[in-house]
Amino acid sequence: MRRFILIAVPYIWLVVLFLVPFLIVLKISLSDAAISIPPYTPQMGLSAGWAGFKAFVSELDFENYIFLSEDALYWKAYLSSLQIALISTVLTLLVGYPIAYGMAQAPDEWRATLLLLVILPFWTSFLIRVYAWIGILSNEGFLNQFLLWTGIISTPLMILNTDTAVYIGIVYTYLPFMVLPIYAALEKMDGSLLEAAEDLGCSRTSAFWLVTIPLSKAGIIAGCFLVFIPALGEFVIPSLLGGSDTLMIGKVLWEEFFSNRDWPVASAVAVILLLILILPIVLFQRNQQKQREMEQ
Residues that bind another protein (CB under 8 A): 190, 192-193, 195-203, 206, 210-211, 214-215, 217, 294, 296
| Residue 45 dihedral angles phi and psi, to the nearest 5° | -120, 140
Taking the complex as a whole, the smallest distance from the CB of residue 86 to another protein amounts, in Å, to 26
Q: Which of 233, 230, 263, 268 is nearest to 251 (CA)?
A: 233
| Residue 40 dihedral angles phi and psi, to the nearest 5° | -160, 160
Nearer to another protein, 222 or 241 (CB): 222
Taking the complex as a whole, the smallest distance from the CB of residue 188 to another protein amounts, in Å, to 11
Nearer to another protein, 245 or 295 (CB): 295
Torsion of CA 111, 114, 120, 126, to 10 degrees: -120
Taking the complex as a whole, the smallest distance from the CB of residue 106 to another protein amounts, in Å, to 19
Nearer to another protein, 121 or 214 (CB): 214
Nearer to another protein, 71 or 190 (CB): 190
Q: What is the rounded CA–CA span in Å between residue 234 and residue 253?
A: 10
What is the C-alpha radius of gyration for the chain, rounded to an integer number of angstroms?
A: 24
Q: At what angle do helices 72-105 and 263-295 cross, to 10 degrees?
A: 30
Taking the complex as a whole, the smallest distance from the CB of residue 291 to another protein amounts, in Å, to 12
Nearer to another protein, 16 or 213 (CB): 213
Nearer to another protein, 61 or 190 (CB): 190
Q: What is the rounded CA–CA span in Å between residue 103 and residue 94?
A: 15
Taking the complex as a whole, the smallest distance from the CB of residue 99 to another protein amounts, in Å, to 23
What spatial distance separates the first Cα and last Cα of the chain, rounded to whole Å?
29
Taking the complex as a whole, the smallest distance from the CB of residue 130 to another protein amounts, in Å, to 39
Nearer to another protein, 71 or 199 (CB): 199
Q: Distances in Å between the alpha carbon of 84 and those of 107, 133, 239, 279?
A: 36, 18, 14, 18
Count of positions (residues) in the chain: 296
Taking the complex as a whole, the smallest distance from the CB of residue 11 to another protein amounts, in Å, to 33
Residues 6+ apart with CB under 8 A from 267: 25, 26, 28, 29, 64
Q: Which of 235, 232, 222 is nearest to 285 (CA)?
A: 222
Nearer to another protein, 109 or 245 (CB): 109
Q: What is the rounded CA–CA span in Å between residue 292 and residue 231?
A: 26
Taking the complex as a whole, the smallest distance from the CB of residue 107 to another protein amounts, in Å, to 14
